[in-house]
Amino acid sequence: MREPGTSDTAFERFVVPEIEILLRVAHSVTRNHAEAEDLVQDTLLRAYRGIATFDGQHPRAWLLTILRNTNINRNRRQRPELLRDPDRAADGLAAVASDERTDAAIDAELDAEIGNALDALDERFRSVVELVDIDGLTYAEAASVLGVPAGTVMSRLHRARTRIRDRLARTGLAPRSRM
Amino acid sequence: MIRALMMRLMGRKPPGGIDCHAVGKLLQQYLDGHVDGDQAQRIAAHLEDCRRCGMEAETYERIKTSLADRRHEVPAESIERLRDFAARLVRGEEPHQP
């Protein structure tokens, strides 16, 4: 695909435009801004060293695989106590303004309950929701991050959304009927 | 399932020519844009006419929208620092070992 001896150009063409999505995914993976930035920096370094052998196809998937492997290596080196807390409180949820119209209040309640349902998911389900529905990755890209087949991403994603939907139904925020 | 059976007994075709059970199995793939062609058209027609499946689709759409709205903005200064780092790598100003 590429001319030989154009590593720097390839790096600027294929890698630099992906920095923002790498940072977003790194944040989903680490849940910490500083760690996410460190992880992306290490990923860039490895990408730079490997760019000469990259064929120019699917740069995002290639970079996400590097990010995943880099993160695995970092976790091996680092403290187990920094593994994420599954009981962490929901954050970033907008407060509900009491004087909003009813529709807006219901929307806010729905959003809050979806946040609660997301937090209640097992890690393997929550991670696919974060990567696909929140970060906007394709199934294949999320598969690169998680190191699982794209079909597994799809089935986990569907089950995760079904659990969120069932929780909404239990709280009366979604229809109870199932097809 | 019961509704589909009733429709068959009454000799009526389900909306869109596809029954609720089949729509239910494909609904999330359809909403993710992973169902193409005739199948997608049949599901769309079914969702237009079947209130229950339409509500189910709306619920999943609402969940997807709510989740997409959670996309956090990454700090602009972090992006800037990483772009600078990438530029320094290209200029040979950074050691190439992590």
Show the 3-state SS of B16-38. HHCCHHHHHHHHHHHHCCCCCHH
pLDDT interval class at A103 (50, 70, 90): low
Mutate to test the interface with B, among A32, A132, A161, A178 (most CBs of B within 10 A): A161
Extract the tokens encoding A92: 């970033």
Nearest to A133 among B67, B82, B96 (CB): B67
The number of residues making up chain A comes to 179
Identify whether A61 is part of a domain: yes
- Min distance A81 CA to chain B CA atoms (Å): 23
- Min distance A95 CA to chain B CA atoms (Å): 14
Domain boundaries, chain B: 2-90
What is each CA distance from B42 to A15, A174, B3, B82, in whole angstroms?
41, 24, 18, 47
Spatial separation of the C-alpha atoms in residues B73 and A93, rounded to whole Å:
14
Contacts of A103 in chain B (CB under 8 A): none
Question: Backbone phi, then psi, for A25, in 5-degree steps?
Answer: -65, -40
Per-residue model confidence as pLDDT tens digits over A26-70: 988 888 899 999 999 999 999 999 999 998 888 898 999 999 999
pLDDT of residue B9: 59
Is the pLDDT at A126 greater than 60? The verdict is yes
Q: How many domains does chain A have?
A: 2
Contact at CB, A27 and B67, closer than 8 angstroms: no
Contact at CB, A20 and B79, closer than 8 angstroms: yes
A106 and A76 share one domain: no
Long-range contact set of residues A67-74: C-beta below 8 Å, sequence gap at least 24 = A67/A22, A67/A25, A67/A26, A67/A29, A67/A39, A67/A40, A67/A43, A67/A145, A68/A144, A68/A145, A68/A146, A68/A147, A70/A39, A70/A42, A70/A43, A70/A46, A70/B98, A71/A26, A71/A29, A71/A30, A71/A39, A74/A38, A74/A39, A74/A42
Is the pLDDT at A19 greater than 60? The verdict is yes
- CB–CB of A114/B63 below 8 Å? yes
Q: Which residue of B has its CA nearest to A8?
A: B90
Is the pLDDT at A119 greater than 60? The verdict is yes
Spatial separation of the C-alpha atoms in residues B62 and A172, rounded to whole Å:
15
Q: How far is CA A27 from the centre of its chain?
A: 8
Identify whether A38 is part of a domain: yes
Contact at CB, B21 and A179, closer than 8 angstroms: yes
A158 and A108 share one domain: yes
Identify whether A164 is part of a domain: yes
In this prediction the pTM is 0.74
A65 and A123 share one domain: no
Is the pLDDT at A97 greater than 80? The verdict is no
Q: What is the CATH number of the domain that holds A56?
A: 1.10.1740.10
Per-residue model confidence as pLDDT tens digits over B58-87: 999 999 999 999 987 889 999 999 999 999
Element (H, E) at A58: none
Spatial separation of the C-alpha atoms in residues A137 and A159, rounded to whole Å:
18
Spatial separation of the C-alpha atoms in residues A92 and A31, rounded to whole Å:
13
Identify whether A1 is part of a domain: no
Contact at CB, B89 and A45, closer than 8 angstroms: yes
Q: Which residue of B has its CA nearest to A126?
A: B67
| Domain that residue A54 falls in | 7-82
- Min distance B50 CA to chain A CA atoms (Å): 11
Q: Is residue A165 within 8 angstroms of chain B, CB to CB?
A: yes
Q: Which residue of A has its CA nearest to B23?
A: A179
Identify whether A175 is part of a domain: no
